[in-house]
Amino acid sequence: MTNNQEYHIPVMLQECIDAMCINPDGIYVDVTFGGGGHSRAIFEKLSSKGRLIAFDQDPDARKNAWDAPNFDLIPANFEFLSNHLRLLGVKEVDGLLADLGVSSHQFDEDTRGFSIRTEAELDMRMNQRSQLTAADVVNDYEEKELLRIFRSYGEIKNAFRLVQEITTERRNGRIKTTNDLIKIGTRCAPKHKENRYLAQVFQAVRIEVNDELGTLERLLEQTAEVLKPKARLVVMSYHSLEDRLVKNYTKRGSLTGEIEKDFFGNVLKPFTEIVRHPIVPSEEEVERNSRARSAKLRIAERNG
């Protein structure tokens, strides 16, 4: 096994492994296999009795897998976590790691359309078998739906103007490439903040294409079912929308952040936070890997 850093450089690798508190004989899940960096580090700490189960819906990730009797790579979205664990005969696990967002490979692959740096078709699908593409969103969604996406997922203040520019442009023909969308976005971007603005535009479309927040919600709701008491939930997010969901669930026991109580007034929450504030990468790591700069790591322990 070798760490395929050409595919994806694992962010806060040591911090994630330390947070897992790995039992060599335990069963662990990495729901975002990608380049396999975090998975390999977990696997190397396991005995022959231990087991690692990884998930990744991107077919490109399979080339980073290895053969071992106690390792499984499931080619599926992590929203189907509990179903696949049942198929494997696994009732509970000792720890779960999620490194959310887009891998370095997906950003760098010219044909995928995730990056503002290269021209490509407007695709942005993490799962190439999915039907909905970024081009479908930009060209076919109604104005009110585009407004919702750019305001909610991109947190874009002048979303109305951006939507007006998009709808005007698509009357002249379909918006087909990343450069087409960049040209539109640049006209709306604040001066000297063009790259940040465009990143927000692309983020909003990408989240919609992949239903990223919906799948994260469904994952979090399954974690209490599949994790043993005292097992660790370790989640690394890269934007505030993801981090807010993880924070709400681990801190208050609900995705909305509302506190629920039982008949006796006891707070109903499946997890206890191990760290009150998220762990962030060191300055040295950000210098080595610029994609680590927005990462936030949250750690929680299953109650019970």
CATH T-level assignment (fold) for domain 13-104+212-302: Rossmann fold (3.40.50)
**Which residues of the chain form CATH 3.40.50.150?**
13-104+212-302
Q: Which residue has the tokens 């790995």?
A: 22
Q: For the chain, percent helix, then strand, then coil, each to nearest 5?
A: 45, 15, 40
The pLDDT value recorded for residue 135 is: 97
Nearby residues of 288 by Cβ (< 8 Å), 6 or more positions away: 9
**CATH 1.10.150.170 segments of the chain:** 116-210
Q: What is the CATH number of domain 116-210?
A: 1.10.150.170
pLDDT of residue 258: 87
Rounded CA separation 237/296 (Å):
5
Could you list the pLDDT tens digit for every one of the 304 residues in the chain? 445 555 557 999 999 999 999 999 999 999 999 999 999 999 999 999 999 999 999 888 889 999 999 999 999 999 999 999 999 999 999 999 999 977 666 666 777 888 888 899 999 998 888 899 999 999 999 999 999 999 999 999 999 999 999 999 999 999 999 999 999 999 999 999 999 999 999 999 999 999 999 999 999 999 999 999 999 999 999 999 999 999 999 999 999 988 888 888 888 899 999 999 999 999 999 999 988 999 999 999 999 8
Q: What string of DSSP letters covers 109-124?
A: -GGG---SSS--BS--
